[in-house]
Amino acid sequence: MRFITLDPDTFRKFADKSKYKSFMQTPEIAALREKNGWTAYYFGVEEAGKLKAAAMLVAKPTFLGKSTYICPGGPLLDYEDTATTNFFFKHLKKYIKSHNGYVLHIDPYYELIERGRDGTPVEGGFNHQKALNNLRNLGFIPVASTQPKYMFALELKGRTPDQLFADLKRNTRNHVRKAEKMGVVVRELKREELSIFKQITESTSHRRHFADRPLSYYEQMYDLFHKHGQVMFMVAECELENGDAKESEDVHSRHFATNEEQVSEVPPVTTAPWDADDLWSTGRDERAENEQSPIPMSAAMFMLYGDEIVYLFSGSVEEYMKDYNAQYLIQWHMIKYAAEHKFKTYNFYGIHALPSADHPDGIYDFKKGFTSDDTGRVIELIGSYELAINQPFYHLHRLLANLKHH
Protein backbone atom coordinates (compact mmCIF):
# COMPACT_ATOMS: atom_id res chain seq x y z
CA MET A 1 0.00 0.00 0.00
CA ARG A 2 1.08 3.58 -0.66
CA PHE A 3 -0.04 6.78 1.09
CA ILE A 4 -0.40 9.45 -1.60
CA THR A 5 -1.61 12.99 -2.12
CA LEU A 6 -4.47 13.47 -4.57
CA ASP A 7 -5.66 16.26 -6.81
CA PRO A 8 -9.30 17.38 -6.38
CA ASP A 9 -10.48 15.73 -9.61
CA THR A 10 -9.01 12.34 -8.72
CA PHE A 11 -10.52 12.59 -5.27
CA ARG A 12 -13.93 13.52 -6.72
CA LYS A 13 -13.94 10.48 -9.00
CA PHE A 14 -13.21 8.20 -6.06
CA ALA A 15 -15.70 9.93 -3.75
CA ASP A 16 -18.53 9.78 -6.28
CA LYS A 17 -18.25 5.99 -6.37
CA SER A 18 -17.55 5.40 -2.68
CA LYS A 19 -20.06 3.44 -0.60
CA TYR A 20 -19.40 5.92 2.22
CA LYS A 21 -19.74 9.16 0.23
CA SER A 22 -21.14 12.33 1.70
CA PHE A 23 -21.64 15.80 0.23
CA MET A 24 -19.40 16.96 3.08
CA GLN A 25 -16.50 15.08 1.43
CA THR A 26 -16.42 17.09 -1.79
CA PRO A 27 -14.15 19.73 -3.35
CA GLU A 28 -17.11 22.12 -3.07
CA ILE A 29 -17.10 21.93 0.72
CA ALA A 30 -13.33 22.36 0.59
CA ALA A 31 -13.83 25.54 -1.46
CA LEU A 32 -16.40 26.79 1.04
CA ARG A 33 -13.95 26.24 3.88
CA GLU A 34 -11.15 27.92 1.96
CA LYS A 35 -13.27 31.06 1.66
CA ASN A 36 -13.09 31.22 5.45
CA GLY A 37 -9.38 30.75 5.98
CA TRP A 38 -8.98 26.97 5.93
CA THR A 39 -6.54 25.08 3.69
CA ALA A 40 -7.72 21.92 1.93
CA TYR A 41 -5.74 18.71 1.45
CA TYR A 42 -6.53 15.44 -0.35
CA PHE A 43 -4.99 12.08 0.55
CA GLY A 44 -5.46 8.48 -0.43
CA VAL A 45 -4.29 4.90 0.01
CA GLU A 46 -3.33 3.09 -3.18
CA GLU A 47 -2.80 -0.62 -3.62
CA ALA A 48 -1.92 -2.32 -6.90
CA GLY A 49 -2.62 0.92 -8.74
CA LYS A 50 -6.13 1.29 -7.29
CA LEU A 51 -7.40 3.69 -4.63
CA LYS A 52 -8.73 1.92 -1.53
CA ALA A 53 -9.37 4.96 0.66
CA ALA A 54 -9.39 8.75 0.36
CA ALA A 55 -10.06 11.87 2.37
CA MET A 56 -10.51 15.60 2.01
CA LEU A 57 -9.18 17.46 5.05
CA VAL A 58 -9.11 21.12 5.96
CA ALA A 59 -6.67 22.76 8.35
CA LYS A 60 -6.31 26.07 10.09
CA PRO A 61 -4.08 27.42 12.92
CA THR A 62 -6.40 27.53 15.96
CA PHE A 63 -4.34 27.11 19.14
CA LEU A 64 -0.98 28.73 19.93
CA GLY A 65 -0.02 28.59 16.27
CA LYS A 66 -0.81 24.88 16.00
CA SER A 67 -3.36 23.68 13.46
CA THR A 68 -6.60 21.77 13.77
CA TYR A 69 -7.19 19.23 11.00
CA ILE A 70 -10.79 18.28 10.24
CA CYS A 71 -12.17 15.62 7.93
CA PRO A 72 -15.88 16.48 7.58
CA GLY A 73 -18.00 13.46 6.68
CA GLY A 74 -14.97 11.21 6.30
CA PRO A 75 -12.48 9.72 5.63
CA LEU A 76 -13.96 7.50 2.94
CA LEU A 77 -12.88 3.97 3.79
CA ASP A 78 -14.08 0.69 5.24
CA TYR A 79 -13.27 1.05 8.95
CA GLU A 80 -13.58 -2.71 9.45
CA ASP A 81 -10.67 -3.23 7.07
CA THR A 82 -8.07 -3.17 9.83
CA ALA A 83 -5.00 -3.18 7.59
CA THR A 84 -6.14 -0.27 5.41
CA THR A 85 -7.49 1.73 8.37
CA ASN A 86 -4.27 1.34 10.35
CA PHE A 87 -2.07 2.16 7.35
CA PHE A 88 -4.09 5.23 6.38
CA PHE A 89 -4.20 6.83 9.82
CA LYS A 90 -0.58 5.95 10.63
CA HIS A 91 0.62 7.90 7.62
CA LEU A 92 -1.98 10.65 7.97
CA LYS A 93 -0.92 11.22 11.58
CA LYS A 94 2.72 11.41 10.49
CA TYR A 95 1.88 13.98 7.80
CA ILE A 96 -0.18 16.16 10.15
CA LYS A 97 2.48 16.08 12.86
CA SER A 98 5.15 17.20 10.38
CA HIS A 99 2.88 20.04 9.25
CA ASN A 100 2.30 21.68 12.62
CA GLY A 101 -1.00 19.98 13.45
CA TYR A 102 -2.00 19.00 16.98
CA VAL A 103 -5.39 17.28 16.51
CA LEU A 104 -7.36 15.39 13.85
CA HIS A 105 -11.15 15.44 14.00
CA ILE A 106 -13.21 12.98 11.94
CA ASP A 107 -16.95 12.31 11.61
CA PRO A 108 -17.40 9.48 9.10
CA TYR A 109 -20.65 9.00 7.20
CA TYR A 110 -20.43 5.37 8.27
CA GLU A 111 -23.23 3.36 9.87
CA LEU A 112 -22.75 1.46 13.11
CA ILE A 113 -25.82 -0.80 13.50
CA GLU A 114 -28.54 -1.63 10.99
CA ARG A 115 -31.88 -0.51 12.44
CA GLY A 116 -35.50 -0.64 11.36
CA ARG A 117 -38.23 1.99 11.30
CA ASP A 118 -38.78 1.80 15.05
CA GLY A 119 -35.06 2.01 15.79
CA THR A 120 -34.57 -1.58 16.91
CA PRO A 121 -31.66 -3.57 15.39
CA VAL A 122 -32.55 -5.58 12.31
CA GLU A 123 -32.28 -9.31 12.93
CA GLY A 124 -29.27 -10.54 10.99
CA GLY A 125 -28.35 -6.97 10.05
CA PHE A 126 -24.86 -5.49 10.13
CA ASN A 127 -23.09 -4.40 13.29
CA HIS A 128 -19.82 -2.55 12.70
CA GLN A 129 -18.46 -2.80 16.23
CA LYS A 130 -15.12 -3.83 14.75
CA ALA A 131 -14.87 -0.39 13.15
CA LEU A 132 -15.20 1.24 16.58
CA ASN A 133 -12.56 -1.08 18.00
CA ASN A 134 -10.16 -0.24 15.18
CA LEU A 135 -10.53 3.50 15.80
CA ARG A 136 -10.10 3.15 19.55
CA ASN A 137 -7.02 0.97 19.08
CA LEU A 138 -5.51 3.77 17.02
CA GLY A 139 -6.04 6.23 19.88
CA PHE A 140 -9.22 7.98 18.67
CA ILE A 141 -11.54 9.15 21.43
CA PRO A 142 -15.28 9.86 20.95
CA VAL A 143 -16.35 13.50 21.10
CA ALA A 144 -19.62 15.37 20.67
CA SER A 145 -21.01 14.59 17.24
CA THR A 146 -20.55 17.24 14.61
CA GLN A 147 -23.31 15.75 12.49
CA PRO A 148 -26.47 14.04 13.75
CA LYS A 149 -25.70 10.73 15.46
CA TYR A 150 -29.16 9.43 14.51
CA MET A 151 -31.06 10.10 11.31
CA PHE A 152 -34.26 8.85 9.72
CA ALA A 153 -34.48 7.81 6.08
CA LEU A 154 -36.98 6.65 3.47
CA GLU A 155 -35.61 3.86 1.26
CA LEU A 156 -37.45 4.36 -2.03
CA LYS A 157 -36.85 0.81 -3.33
CA GLY A 158 -37.96 1.69 -6.85
CA ARG A 159 -41.46 2.66 -5.72
CA THR A 160 -43.56 4.97 -7.87
CA PRO A 161 -45.01 8.21 -6.48
CA ASP A 162 -48.44 6.54 -6.29
CA GLN A 163 -47.00 3.68 -4.26
CA LEU A 164 -45.12 6.06 -1.98
CA PHE A 165 -48.27 8.14 -1.44
CA ALA A 166 -50.13 4.99 -0.42
CA ASP A 167 -47.33 4.31 2.09
CA LEU A 168 -47.89 7.62 3.89
CA LYS A 169 -49.38 7.46 7.34
CA ARG A 170 -53.07 8.39 7.17
CA ASN A 171 -52.68 11.72 9.01
CA THR A 172 -49.68 12.66 6.86
CA ARG A 173 -51.59 11.83 3.69
CA ASN A 174 -54.50 13.99 4.86
CA HIS A 175 -52.16 16.91 5.60
CA VAL A 176 -50.68 16.68 2.10
CA ARG A 177 -54.13 16.60 0.50
CA LYS A 178 -55.28 19.55 2.60
CA ALA A 179 -52.28 21.64 1.54
CA GLU A 180 -53.02 20.89 -2.11
CA LYS A 181 -56.69 21.73 -1.62
CA MET A 182 -55.78 25.05 0.00
CA GLY A 183 -53.77 25.96 -3.11
CA VAL A 184 -50.26 25.63 -1.68
CA VAL A 185 -47.65 25.33 -4.44
CA VAL A 186 -44.02 24.19 -4.12
CA ARG A 187 -41.31 25.61 -6.36
CA GLU A 188 -37.53 26.00 -6.45
CA LEU A 189 -36.02 29.32 -5.44
CA LYS A 190 -33.64 31.10 -7.79
CA ARG A 191 -30.38 32.46 -6.47
CA GLU A 192 -31.72 36.00 -6.33
CA GLU A 193 -34.61 34.71 -4.22
CA LEU A 194 -32.51 33.17 -1.47
CA SER A 195 -33.41 36.10 0.77
CA ILE A 196 -36.82 34.40 1.13
CA PHE A 197 -35.12 31.35 2.61
CA LYS A 198 -32.88 33.55 4.75
CA GLN A 199 -35.86 35.49 6.10
CA ILE A 200 -37.44 32.26 7.29
CA THR A 201 -34.30 30.90 8.96
CA GLU A 202 -33.48 34.26 10.51
CA SER A 203 -36.94 34.62 12.05
CA THR A 204 -36.68 31.05 13.28
CA SER A 205 -33.33 31.71 14.90
CA HIS A 206 -34.70 34.72 16.76
CA ARG A 207 -37.62 32.72 18.09
CA ARG A 208 -35.69 29.55 18.93
CA HIS A 209 -32.42 31.20 19.98
CA PHE A 210 -29.91 29.56 17.65
CA ALA A 211 -27.27 31.10 15.40
CA ASP A 212 -28.47 31.42 11.82
CA ARG A 213 -26.23 31.23 8.78
CA PRO A 214 -25.56 34.48 6.92
CA LEU A 215 -27.17 34.94 3.51
CA SER A 216 -23.69 34.68 2.01
CA TYR A 217 -23.48 31.07 3.22
CA TYR A 218 -26.62 30.06 1.33
CA GLU A 219 -25.41 31.94 -1.73
CA GLN A 220 -22.04 30.20 -1.58
CA MET A 221 -23.68 26.78 -1.25
CA TYR A 222 -25.86 27.63 -4.25
CA ASP A 223 -22.88 28.81 -6.31
CA LEU A 224 -20.81 25.74 -5.46
CA PHE A 225 -23.39 22.97 -5.76
CA HIS A 226 -26.27 24.13 -7.95
CA LYS A 227 -24.26 23.96 -11.17
CA HIS A 228 -23.80 20.25 -10.44
CA GLY A 229 -27.49 19.79 -9.65
CA GLN A 230 -26.58 19.04 -6.03
CA VAL A 231 -28.53 21.63 -4.05
CA MET A 232 -32.12 22.84 -4.17
CA PHE A 233 -33.77 25.58 -2.12
CA MET A 234 -37.52 25.02 -2.15
CA VAL A 235 -40.42 27.19 -1.01
CA ALA A 236 -44.07 26.33 -0.43
CA GLU A 237 -46.34 29.31 -0.92
CA CYS A 238 -49.99 30.20 -1.41
CA GLU A 239 -51.99 33.17 -2.65
CA LEU A 240 -54.21 34.55 0.09
CA GLU A 241 -57.18 36.78 -0.59
CA ASN A 242 -56.77 40.19 1.04
CA GLY A 243 -53.54 38.98 2.63
CA ASP A 244 -55.71 37.34 5.29
CA ALA A 245 -54.64 34.33 7.30
CA LYS A 246 -56.00 32.48 10.30
CA GLU A 247 -54.01 32.29 13.48
CA SER A 248 -52.77 28.82 14.48
CA GLU A 249 -50.90 27.41 17.44
CA ASP A 250 -47.46 25.89 17.23
CA VAL A 251 -48.18 22.22 16.62
CA HIS A 252 -44.74 21.09 15.52
CA SER A 253 -41.83 20.62 17.90
CA ARG A 254 -38.30 21.60 17.04
CA HIS A 255 -36.33 19.55 14.54
CA PHE A 256 -32.66 18.77 14.96
CA ALA A 257 -31.56 19.09 11.33
CA THR A 258 -27.84 19.72 11.33
CA ASN A 259 -25.13 21.45 13.35
CA GLU A 260 -22.52 24.15 13.38
CA GLU A 261 -19.67 21.84 12.40
CA GLN A 262 -21.29 20.71 9.21
CA VAL A 263 -22.74 23.83 7.69
CA SER A 264 -21.46 26.86 9.54
CA GLU A 265 -18.42 28.51 8.04
CA VAL A 266 -19.18 31.87 9.63
CA PRO A 267 -19.08 32.08 12.63
CA PRO A 268 -16.24 29.62 13.33
CA VAL A 269 -16.75 25.90 13.73
CA THR A 270 -18.22 24.58 16.95
CA THR A 271 -19.31 21.14 18.00
CA ALA A 272 -22.64 22.24 19.45
CA PRO A 273 -25.75 21.12 17.54
CA TRP A 274 -28.36 23.64 16.49
CA ASP A 275 -32.02 23.47 15.55
CA ALA A 276 -32.54 24.54 11.95
CA ASP A 277 -35.59 22.59 10.82
CA ASP A 278 -37.82 24.68 13.00
CA LEU A 279 -40.95 26.74 13.13
CA TRP A 280 -41.16 30.48 13.28
CA SER A 281 -43.65 33.25 13.49
CA THR A 282 -43.21 36.64 11.91
CA GLY A 283 -46.62 38.04 12.76
CA ARG A 284 -48.84 39.52 10.08
CA ASP A 285 -47.35 41.54 7.27
CA GLU A 286 -49.01 44.82 6.48
CA ARG A 287 -50.37 44.06 3.02
CA ALA A 288 -52.61 45.97 0.70
CA GLU A 289 -56.25 44.98 1.12
CA ASN A 290 -56.53 43.30 -2.29
CA GLU A 291 -52.98 41.99 -2.59
CA GLN A 292 -52.73 38.58 -4.28
CA SER A 293 -48.97 37.92 -4.08
CA PRO A 294 -48.01 34.35 -3.04
CA ILE A 295 -47.13 34.13 0.64
CA PRO A 296 -44.09 31.96 1.56
CA MET A 297 -45.22 29.48 4.23
CA SER A 298 -42.38 26.97 4.39
CA ALA A 299 -38.90 26.64 2.89
CA ALA A 300 -36.24 23.96 2.91
CA MET A 301 -32.73 23.26 1.67
CA PHE A 302 -31.89 19.89 0.11
CA MET A 303 -28.59 18.33 -0.89
CA LEU A 304 -28.65 15.89 -3.82
CA TYR A 305 -25.52 13.76 -3.90
CA GLY A 306 -25.00 10.28 -5.25
CA ASP A 307 -28.06 8.11 -4.69
CA GLU A 308 -29.38 10.24 -1.84
CA ILE A 309 -31.39 13.41 -1.26
CA VAL A 310 -30.70 14.96 2.15
CA TYR A 311 -33.32 17.22 3.72
CA LEU A 312 -30.78 19.46 5.43
CA PHE A 313 -32.80 22.15 7.18
CA SER A 314 -35.93 24.25 6.87
CA GLY A 315 -38.49 26.50 8.51
CA SER A 316 -42.23 27.12 8.43
CA VAL A 317 -44.31 30.19 9.20
CA GLU A 318 -46.09 29.36 12.43
CA GLU A 319 -49.33 31.18 11.74
CA TYR A 320 -50.02 29.17 8.56
CA MET A 321 -49.00 25.70 9.71
CA LYS A 322 -52.25 24.25 10.97
CA ASP A 323 -54.48 25.67 8.26
CA TYR A 324 -52.22 25.17 5.23
CA ASN A 325 -49.81 22.31 6.11
CA ALA A 326 -47.18 23.63 3.69
CA GLN A 327 -44.43 21.88 5.66
CA TYR A 328 -45.98 18.52 4.68
CA LEU A 329 -46.39 19.39 1.03
CA ILE A 330 -42.78 20.49 0.63
CA GLN A 331 -41.65 17.08 1.91
CA TRP A 332 -44.03 15.18 -0.34
CA HIS A 333 -42.96 17.26 -3.35
CA MET A 334 -39.31 16.30 -2.83
CA ILE A 335 -40.11 12.64 -2.14
CA LYS A 336 -41.89 12.53 -5.49
CA TYR A 337 -38.89 14.25 -7.08
CA ALA A 338 -36.58 11.63 -5.56
CA ALA A 339 -38.70 8.77 -6.94
CA GLU A 340 -39.04 10.32 -10.39
CA HIS A 341 -35.27 10.91 -10.63
CA LYS A 342 -34.34 7.41 -9.45
CA PHE A 343 -32.72 8.31 -6.14
CA LYS A 344 -32.47 5.37 -3.76
CA THR A 345 -32.73 7.19 -0.44
CA TYR A 346 -34.60 10.23 0.87
CA ASN A 347 -32.76 11.17 4.05
CA PHE A 348 -34.84 13.23 6.49
CA TYR A 349 -31.60 13.78 8.40
CA GLY A 350 -31.44 14.22 12.16
CA ILE A 351 -33.64 12.94 14.96
CA HIS A 352 -32.86 13.59 18.60
CA ALA A 353 -32.15 10.02 19.66
CA LEU A 354 -33.23 6.45 19.18
CA PRO A 355 -37.05 6.19 19.28
CA SER A 356 -38.39 5.32 22.71
CA ALA A 357 -41.89 4.88 24.08
CA ASP A 358 -40.68 6.49 27.30
CA HIS A 359 -39.42 9.60 25.50
CA PRO A 360 -41.76 10.64 22.64
CA ASP A 361 -40.08 12.58 19.83
CA GLY A 362 -42.28 14.77 17.63
CA ILE A 363 -39.45 15.13 15.13
CA TYR A 364 -39.20 11.38 14.63
CA ASP A 365 -42.99 11.04 14.46
CA PHE A 366 -43.26 13.73 11.77
CA LYS A 367 -40.63 12.10 9.59
CA LYS A 368 -41.85 8.56 10.21
CA GLY A 369 -45.27 9.60 8.88
CA PHE A 370 -43.87 9.69 5.34
CA THR A 371 -42.77 6.04 5.43
CA SER A 372 -44.07 2.51 5.81
CA ASP A 373 -42.65 -0.30 7.95
CA ASP A 374 -40.95 -1.55 4.81
CA THR A 375 -39.37 1.72 3.67
CA GLY A 376 -38.54 3.71 6.81
CA ARG A 377 -35.41 3.16 8.83
CA VAL A 378 -33.35 4.78 11.58
CA ILE A 379 -29.70 5.40 10.70
CA GLU A 380 -27.13 5.26 13.49
CA LEU A 381 -23.75 6.68 12.52
CA ILE A 382 -20.47 5.66 14.06
CA GLY A 383 -20.01 9.11 15.61
CA SER A 384 -17.31 11.78 15.79
CA TYR A 385 -13.75 11.19 17.03
CA GLU A 386 -10.53 13.03 17.77
CA LEU A 387 -6.95 11.83 17.55
CA ALA A 388 -4.25 13.65 19.47
CA ILE A 389 -1.36 14.40 17.11
CA ASN A 390 0.75 16.54 19.45
CA GLN A 391 -0.04 15.20 22.92
CA PRO A 392 1.15 18.17 25.04
CA PHE A 393 -0.72 20.74 22.94
CA TYR A 394 -3.81 18.54 22.69
CA HIS A 395 -4.12 17.99 26.44
CA LEU A 396 -3.35 21.63 27.20
CA HIS A 397 -6.12 22.67 24.82
CA ARG A 398 -8.60 20.25 26.46
CA LEU A 399 -7.64 21.50 29.91
CA LEU A 400 -8.17 25.14 28.95
CA ALA A 401 -11.45 24.29 27.21
CA ASN A 402 -12.73 22.51 30.31
CA LEU A 403 -11.74 25.44 32.55
CA LYS A 404 -13.54 27.82 30.20
CA HIS A 405 -16.78 25.85 30.54
CA HIS A 406 -16.69 25.72 34.34
The pLDDT tens digits along the chain (406 residues) read 999 999 999 999 999 999 999 999 999 999 999 999 999 999 999 999 999 999 999 999 998 899 999 999 999 999 999 999 999 999 999 999 999 999 999 999 999 999 999 999 999 999 999 999 999 999 999 998 878 999 999 999 999 999 999 999 999 999 999 999 999 999 999 999 999 999 988 877 776 677 778 999 999 999 999 999 999 999 999 998 764 544 333 323 333 333 222 333 322 222 222 233 333 333 334 433 445 689 999 999 999 999 999 999 888 888 888 899 999 999 999 999 999 999 999 999 999 899 988 888 889 999 999 999 999 999 999 999 999 999 888 888 888 877 776 6
Residue type (1 letter), 204: T
**31, 40, 56, 365 from 36: Cα distances, Å:** 9, 11, 16, 37
Cβ contacts of residue 404 below 8 Å, gap of 6+? none
Helix axes of 27-34 and 8-17: crossing angle, nearest 10 degrees: 130
User: Which pTM does this prediction carry?
Assistant: 0.87
b/e per residue 61-77 (b: at least 16 CB within 10 A): ebbeebbbbbbbbbbbb
